[in-house]
Chains A and B, each alone.
Chain A
Amino acid sequence: MSLTSTVTDHARIITVNADRIDAAMAIQFKEDMRTETEGGPDRVILDLSTVKFIDSSGLGAIVASMKQLEANRNLDLAGLTPVVDKVFRLTRMDTVFNLFPSLDDALAATADH
């Protein structure tokens, strides 16, 4: 399993047990995201702080993970490290997701809603 998840009152938090989301793990990642996001709160936060590298296959897998959620559910991203942040910005996918500097910031944002 490439992912671990916990549930709070307002969100499911998913952490990545790998330092790369690349072509060799993209399919597994997408399948594990489907399993981990089954049921539970509408808001899903993917904590990417352990991920030091992502390629376009990994980016595609995160987009696919968001698309496979039900329409009323959201995938937010937290803790983007420099290379991950760069890939999101260059492809303009930073405009598609809510991005938070850290998991704590993402959780704090819950309280505002």
Chain B
Amino acid sequence: MTEIGKQGKFALSFRATELEARSGICAVAQELRLQGVSEETAGDIEIALAEAINNIVEHAYAGVEPGRIRVICSFQQSRLDIRISDKGVPLPAGELPKGAPAIITENKQDLPEGGFGWFLIRQLTSDIRYDRLNGHNRLSMGFDLT
């Protein structure tokens, strides 16, 4: 795992459509594996990244011409920091959702079909931070690579 510790950084940007988001998510996950991140950790990161990016596609740019999403990944020793920025609308109330777990009901017809995203992000990151700066949303997610 030591070779992950290199001080590396890579970035990409894409339009906030479902298909371009898929390509962007796959490209980041592939690069992480190339950089030596373990299969399991890369899978965790890909889940959190997909949830964060899908939120931007579905909510931040909802009902408007899809803008761009920029992703910057920085390795710092045994840590990976991913910053995702967009120019869409801010998060509701300007803060991160609590991400409570979905309620698993006895009755199958009442089972939730959504609302898992922020819960998954909070479970899979070691820390998370949201800022609204000059009309940009910036989400920072930290991952422990050890």
Contacts and interface: CB of A to CB of B under 8 A. Distances in A.
B22 A24 contact: yes
The A contact surface, by secondary structure, is helix
Given A23-B57, A60-B116, A92-B104, A86 B47 contact: yes
Given A55-B51, A67-B108, A22 B114 contact: no
B108 A96 contact: yes
B64 to A, nearest CB: 18
Interface in B17-50: 18-19, 21-22, 25, 39-40, 43-44, 46-47, 50
Interface string A22-66: 111000000000000000000000000000010111011101101
B77 interface: no
A23 B123 contact: no
B123 A67 contact: no
The B contact surface, by secondary structure, is helix
A57 B54 contact: yes
A95 B21 CA distance: 30
Nearest to B103: A92
B111 A63 contact: yes
A87 interface: yes
Contacts of A23: 18, 21-22, 50, 54, 57-58
Contacts, number: 77
Contacts of A8: none
A59 B116 CA distance: 9
Nearest to B29: A53
B97 interface: no
Interface string A71-113: 0000000000011001100111101100000000000000000
B104 A56 contact: no
Interface of B: 18-19, 21-22, 25, 39-40, 43-44, 46-47, 50-51, 54, 57-58, 101-102, 104, 108-109, 111-114, 116-117, 119-120, 123-124
